[in-house]
Structure 1
């Protein structure tokens, strides 16, 4: 059952992380600020205000 899990390599995990970070950056650049920007509903790039 877990045989497929043993076939996952470190390189595959590293490539996945790099791909995800590149996709996030592309989305921040391509999408409008209301979606991916300061206060965006999908990706909020605003600095943490520390409000509680």
Structure 2
């Protein structure tokens, strides 16, 4: 049961490595299309799909 709930929450998350984006591209995604944050520990940009 817990695994199913966890996978449902993770379906709406996109993780992009820092090396795949420029800073400008990352900021553009965060400000225009998605809610998210920078994860320094994993060195990724985490984008959450916004549900209406």
- Which TM-score applies when normalising by structure 2? 0.28
- Specify the structure having the higher radius of gyration (Cα): 1
Task: Give the structure with the larger strand fraction.
Answer: 2
Larger relative contact order (Cα-Cα within 8 Å, sequence gap ≥ 6): 2
Task: Give the structure with the larger helix fraction.
Answer: 1
